[in-house]
Chain A
Amino acid sequence: MAVCAEVVLKPKKALRVPVYAPCIRPDDFAGLSEAEIGSLEVLKGNRKVRLAELFEVKGDAASKPEELTICLSGDFGKVRQVGFEMTSGRVVVEGDIGLLAGEHMRGGTIEIHGSAGSWLGSRMLGGTIIVHGSAGDYVGSSYRGAADGMRGGTIIIEGDVGSELGNHMRGGTIEVKGSVGLFPGIHLHDGAILIRGDCEGRPGAFMMGGKIIICGHVPSVLPGFSIIRISKSVKFGKEKIEGPFYTFVGDLTEGGGGRLHVSKERNSHLSHYESYL
């Protein structure tokens, strides 16, 4: 058990139906007693139920959301939208968490010890999300079809991530310590993505701006990218990532000016690009 604080939620029995619980956030819990928290409404499938019907609630909440920690203990893999639009405080998840965790989040911290579902931190504006396990697709992305992805804040994922990481991202930073699927940084407008592991392919498709750093292997770079130099190191926030990196500009098919940095050491098959320098 990690360090846990004021309010603890535990599933009464394993959930089989998705539960939409945007109210599981310090802003809603602040100042409520155990019973009051238990009477908050969530959607189980298409039915409204009280939180206490699904979860054991322990502990009264502090009066200010920033002093509050919500601890989700057990399997929350079916629970969605936890920390929706939260502004402060902490949510600690000891197991897995479902889709849309930290959607439109504005501040505070979400720490997930297990894995996160897809759409983690989508449309996020601020705050921090730390995942010790892996995460699904569309991390820090926009709503399907929209062009307003993550605008601020930080997402750190220690495991692997699925496809379309940072779709339509417009600010903030995402760091992935494992590897990523297809299309990381698709439609990237601004902000920075650091991938310490490998990439399955097609990084930065349609990117207009911002920065993608890939320290691992990439099968190929899209034809819309043009090499501009070999960088010794690249800055990621305040950190200096040691290279050397092949630095590309793109996606030129969209008239974009983003920067894609790909490790030189791990990608000897890209050495033919050096002839264009």
Chain B
Amino acid sequence: MAEKAPRALLIKNGIVFDPLNGIDGERMDIAVLNGRIVEDVPEKEAYVIDASGMMVMPGGVDIHAHIAGSEVNAGRLLRPEDHFKDVEPKTATARSGVGHSVPSTWTTGYRYARMGWTWVSNPSMPPLEARHTHEELDDTPIIDKATYPLLGDCWFVMEFLAAGMIEECAAYVAWMLWATKGYAVKLVNPGGLECWGFGGNVKSIDDVVPYFNITPREIIRGLAKVNHLLDLPHTIHIHTNRLGQPGNWEITVRTMDCVRDIPGTSSTGKRSIHVTHVQFSAFGGDDWASMCSMAAPIARYVNMHDHVTIDMGAVVPGDTTTMTADGPFQYGLYELTGNKWINHDVETETSSGIVPYHYRRKSLVNAVQWAIGLELALLIKDPWKGAFVTTDHPNGAPFTTYPRVIEWLMSVKAREKTLKRVNKRAIRRMVLPSIDREMTFYEIAILTRAGPAKALGLENKGHLGVGADADIAIYAIDPDRIDPGRDHRAVRRAFERAAWTIKEGRVVVKDGQVVSSPRGRTFWVHVELPDWTEEAIRSIGDAWTERYTVSFENYPIPKHYLARPYKVVRKARLEA
């Protein structure tokens, strides 16, 4: 497929936003050769794109969106009515597809590409379901992907950490990343999911998990140390305890604070934790009646510390499907809504749940949730720390609503318009009406591209410097002529429909239409370990046989299972 792509490409006269290289709206040319950005190409030999009056950014990077795997597929099966209202016909280059909040794999790839996004991280993959996840990721075209195995409630991880065997735990985590072709360590409600196996949950990060004699704090700290030892490209990626419950903001701050002293890795620097979809973890109040926004203290904490990055998990009013590995949270949501639901236990690893949900502007809680997502991004002064644009697709809203989120971030007027239509009682419980910050295109480029790429430790993504992958989005909007604060709708429309999307030097979208659909890569991390670790990992084989329905030998994904893998090699800081 790649042969047909023009080898050389020249994007002329675009107004470029490339925050990682400090370029803030300069008119310049971008040259591409063989899928990489280069200094210059001869104009005669290149395919020339005239981007005058247009905005050029690196391809979008989504740090957290559930686009593949068994829970997404279960969501598809659960929600025929979600497909029915959103149908995409076949075209000469694109397959047909369905789905609004849980679109089919091909449609997912096309829709991301149409918005100018070229990287998506699929969080929360139950390690046991890795094959399924990779099969779906292989069928998600155009975009590059990575997936994070859930390791926070894994029995072996908890046992190693409870016994203080941090190096053995690191070896096991590295083996898991290799076995499941994962990219980062994901924790969901650490300890809580194991309690859910007995119908319980943890209420603070110092509650003891039954039978394991370990607390969430020890799991989080332990895995953060493991992350440092393995020198992984990303930090630990955490979904906090008590997510989605009123008054959970304190536990969120404690979670961030508990790893303050743990060093990061060679690519993350000082950063040691990424807290994801913080909107769901920033509720104040004692119950649903008194629930309010506590985005401000969380933003204050992030402003004062350098070891944290976060993403928004914004809520956009509308119909969607919630799906997380957080079984107890999903069960609570079912009890709240009475909707149809799925709850599931994945052997020794994790749990999961799915409930369809409709966010209503007129609901007190939903209106506050909408505000929290935006407040987080607007109150954090340094956009490199967050809050990166996500909707925790599909939990807060489908990813297709990112342009709306960008619109709200860039325009007070757009926010005021929505504020007029939300629940009136909710307005006293948020700080959003008092915020007059309007983000610039430069800041948006950080929140949607450069920031997440840096947080993920992606060296060749999220920027347009020489040597970077030629993943480029061009939007039909002239940032010099438009005032996004006033003309916010034009901004939204531009982000909804990229004029051009270029993936690895190949034009994939033109005028909002998919024109070619190459296969994207799947990134995974291979950690080089010292020899002793092999013995340590093999020694769990007996316990494995007792606990798993799959044998230890059959568990790892075979070598050639992924269609287009990309191996990121790291060297563990373990003693030989």
Contact = CB atoms under 8 A, between A and B. Distances in A.
A151 to B, nearest CB: 15
A144 B81 contact: yes
B337 to A, nearest CB: 11
B79 interface: yes
A143 B338 contact: no
Nearest to B83: A145
Interface string B61-85: 0000000000000000011111010
Interface string B232-256: 0000000000000000000000000
A144 B340 CA distance: 13
Contacts of A147: 339
A146 interface: yes
B334 to A, nearest CB: 12
Nearest to B358: A147
Interface in B333-355: 338-340
Contacts of B82: 145
A168 B508 CA distance: 43
A143 B84 CA distance: 8
B78 A145 contact: yes
Contacts, number: 18
Contacts of B81: 142-146
A146 B82 CA distance: 8
A142 B79 CA distance: 13
Contacts of B84: 143-144, 146
Contacts of B339: 147
Contacts of A36: none
Contacts of A144: 80-81, 84
A142 B84 CA distance: 12
B100 to A, nearest CB: 12
Interface string A110-151: 000000000000000000000000000000001111110000
Nearest to B339: A147
A111 to B, nearest CB: 28
A53 interface: no
A254 interface: yes
B467 to A, nearest CB: 48
A147 B341 CA distance: 13
A214 B135 CA distance: 51
Interface in A207-266: 254
B338 A145 contact: no
Interface string B48-71: 000000000000000000000000
Contacts of A143: 80-81, 84
A254 B334 CA distance: 12
Contacts of A142: 81
Residue with the greatest number of chain A CB neighbours at <10 A, chosen from B81, B82, B339: B81
Measured as residues with beta carbon below 8 angstroms from the partner, the interface class of chain A is under 10
B79 A254 contact: no
Nearest to A144: B80
A88 B79 CA distance: 32
A194 B331 CA distance: 36
A91 B26 CA distance: 64
Interface in A143-181: 143-147
A24 B84 CA distance: 21
A254 B338 CA distance: 9
B101 to A, nearest CB: 13
A254 B340 CA distance: 12
Nearest to A254: B338
A161 B275 CA distance: 54
B459 to A, nearest CB: 44
A20 B443 CA distance: 49
B103 to A, nearest CB: 16
B82 to A, nearest CB: 8
Contacts of A145: 78-82, 340
A143 B81 CA distance: 6
Nearest to B77: A145
Contacts of A146: 80-81, 84
A199 B388 CA distance: 57
Nearest to A146: B81
A121 B82 CA distance: 20
A143 to B, nearest CB: 5
Contacts of B338: 254
A143 B80 CA distance: 8
Contacts of A254: 338
A275 B81 CA distance: 44
Nearest to B81: A146
Nearest to B79: A145
B355 to A, nearest CB: 13
A118 to B, nearest CB: 15
A254 B82 CA distance: 24
Nearest to B82: A145
B336 to A, nearest CB: 13
A164 to B, nearest CB: 15
A147 B340 CA distance: 10
A68 to B, nearest CB: 29
Contacts of B80: 143-146
Contacts of B78: 145
B270 to A, nearest CB: 47
A247 to B, nearest CB: 25
A144 B80 CA distance: 6
A147 B339 CA distance: 9
A167 B78 CA distance: 17
B341 to A, nearest CB: 13
A144 B82 CA distance: 10
A142 B80 CA distance: 11
Contacts of B340: 145
A99 to B, nearest CB: 14
A246 B84 CA distance: 40
Nearest to A148: B81
A143 B82 CA distance: 10
Interface string B311-349: 000000000000000000000000000111000000000
A188 to B, nearest CB: 14
B552 to A, nearest CB: 39
B373 to A, nearest CB: 26
A254 B339 CA distance: 11
A143 B87 CA distance: 15
B42 to A, nearest CB: 48
A143 B100 CA distance: 15
A45 B456 CA distance: 48
Interface string A81-96: 0000000000000000
Interface in B150-188: none
Interface of B: 78-82, 84, 338-340
18 contacts: A142-B81, A143-B80, A143-B81, A143-B84, A144-B80, A144-B81, A144-B84, A145-B78, A145-B79, A145-B80, A145-B81, A145-B82, A145-B340, A146-B80, A146-B81, A146-B84, A147-B339, A254-B338
Given A142-B81, A143-B80, A144-B80, 15 more contacts: A143-B81, A143-B84, A144-B81, A144-B84, A145-B78, A145-B79, A145-B80, A145-B81, A145-B82, A145-B340, A146-B80, A146-B81, A146-B84, A147-B339, A254-B338
A-B complex: 9 closest residue pairs judged by Cβ atoms: A146-B81, A145-B80, A145-B81, A144-B80, A143-B81, A143-B84, A145-B79, A144-B81, A145-B78
